[in-house]
A and B are shown apart, each in its own frame.
Chain A
Amino acid sequence: MKYESQGIAKLYFIAAIALFVGQILFGVTMGLQYVMGDFLFPEIPFNVARMVHTNLLIVWLLFGFMGSAYYLVPEEAERELYSPILAKVMFWIFLVAGALTILGYLLVPYARLAELTMNDLLPTMGREFLEQPTITKIGIVIVALAFVFNIGMTILQGRKTVINVVLLTGLVGLAVFFLFSFYNPHNLVLDKYFWWFVVHLWVEGVWELIMASLLAYVLIKVTGVDREVIEKWLYIIIAMALISGLVGTGHHFFWIGTADYWQWFGSIFSALEPIPFFMMTLFAFNVVNKRRRDHPNKAAVLWALGTAVMAFLGAGVWGFLHTLAPVNFYTHGTQITAAHGHMAFYGAYVMVVLTMISYSMPLMRGQKAANVNAQKHEIRSFWIMTLSMVAITLLLTGAGIMQVYLQRYSADPLPFMVVQDRLAHFYWAREVAGLAFLSGLFLYIYSFFAKGPEVADVE
């Protein structure tokens, strides 16, 4: 760690990991509700658990991105953060606002929360992933603007590298596209159309810029490969992400009452969306193979390779599986979507944040890399979580294929709930995989506290 203000990232990362635990606890709760429908009913009905699960994911990833930016940007810009105080104040504002929102979901009925937060003044609640009360959304905008300002000023007054400029572009895009969450027209088709300007343009657009720049940064650090080579890769990866992903938004416009031509635009462009992820995999392995040094932080290298591979599988391959309109006609809104969503978010965004944490946390704690035992536990937790997520994805895919056949494709389609009962074995196995994931997460957290010989001693 070269600059003192980079240390602020630690605060953000600790919060991110704590919220990650919350996310998974609610995940396994929902998994159980899939097979034991009355579990925690009516105290925590499924919709509440799901809202907490998905919102915690979004919030902790945002903490992860912000922490990553606070760590990365001063070093790239070769100067202290513009305002460390602002970064600390925003941390507490975001944490308190996030915690209050989650408590609101859990403690009062959602309709009452809407009333309490005066949703009627500017109704934005009750749409998937954008369930936050309007006041929370305004808070998110304020935090995001302050954050982008802080990062932006640091870069403007410092060295501009491809990595920090691309990261900044992604973060500005994140803040700008979130503004569509305030647009909630009465017309459902319009509502859905522009809802995707937040959701798709985040996860299949600007977040890919953030992911690619974080990955590029860690790869420079752990491999010592020439910056010029890495920056060229970075440009071409994000170029392909935007070229495929922008019009690729159309794969969400097949069946929501929008023009038929989206079946062509959406299918063709989204079929290209695996390309940037495939290039990321090539990039990561290529660069690691050409490494000029063996970095003592083996765990960070593993996470970097892992995120590239899993993002390609989850976002690329599992996305492609159901992205062509003739296929999507049958799979739209089934467990296939859930399968894809789980592996894509884990592979691309969870893992890239964990890559940054893995690389930077030891440095912020005054070590070159975590001690031998800590790395051993971290690497084991990598495999437990990753393989559990593979299992979850395969099981949901199995459930999805059965669901599509029984409910949509067979000559005698069965009602939704009848089909769900027949999928119970898949859901039970998925719950076991979910619990395995949780155990991997606990081991991951334990790895930060494990004692052992320093890496330098064994080298």
Chain B
Amino acid sequence: MRETFTKGMARNIYYGGGIFFFLVLIGLTVDTVNRLPATDNRENLSEQVIAGKRLWEVNNCIGCHSLLGEGAYFAPELANVYTRFGESTEAIKAFIKYRPVDGVEGRRSMPQFNLTDEELEELAQFLKYVDGIKTARNWPPNIQG
């Protein structure tokens, strides 16, 4: 680089730019958090849904599935599974409940998690709540996720 551009100038751009854009990120974060009530479906965060989120976590569902497009890409997107399953929590519960213990020969299969009926309901309610989150452009693009 040319001599007119000194190390001191480079350093100032680093500190100035870094600090400035960190503050921008914080500002945008505050604004985003303030706007969340309009989209994040918090009115449906019931005790059941909260318990369902914990079940989602402790069974590592994200290790195969994606949720709002984040996670693994080994198994279907689940942010819209409630819609895909005909808006039926019963269908979601039945799917999880009847997974074969030893899997399906040659195919990907979801493990049998041995959840109680109460837990199945909580997990289904969590997925219903996620389906109610208003995403930009109504992502995912279609019902297949």
Contact = CB atoms under 8 A, between A and B. Distances in A.
B18 A338 contact: no
Nearest to B51: A186
B133 A46 contact: no
Contacts of A330: 141
Given A33-B108, A242-B22, A333-B73, A414 B144 contact: yes
B63 A46 contact: yes
Contact of A38 (B13, B25, B72, B103): B103
Given A41-B109, A258-B39, A242 B17 contact: yes
A416 B75 contact: yes
Most buried by A among B28, B63, B130: B63
B64 A119 contact: no
A37 B106 CA distance: 5
Interface residues of A, number: 79
Given A128-B70, A416-B144, A231 B7 contact: yes
Given A38-B107, A128-B63, A333-B66, 19 more contacts: A45-B64, A123-B57, A126-B59, A131-B60, A189-B39, A192-B70, A193-B32, A239-B17, A239-B18, A242-B21, A246-B18, A246-B25, A256-B69, A256-B135, A257-B39, A265-B28, A329-B137, A333-B70, A413-B141
Interface of B: 1, 5-7, 10-11, 13-14, 17-18, 21-22, 24-25, 28-29, 31-33, 35-36, 39-42, 45, 49-50, 53-54, 56-64, 66-77, 101-109, 111-113, 129-130, 133-137, 139-145
27 contacts: A33-B74, A37-B107, A42-B112, A47-B111, A50-B74, A51-B63, A111-B113, A125-B57, A128-B62, A187-B42, A187-B45, A189-B133, A190-B40, A192-B70, A228-B7, A232-B5, A232-B10, A235-B10, A238-B14, A257-B41, A257-B133, A259-B31, A263-B136, A265-B28, A333-B70, A407-B144, A408-B140
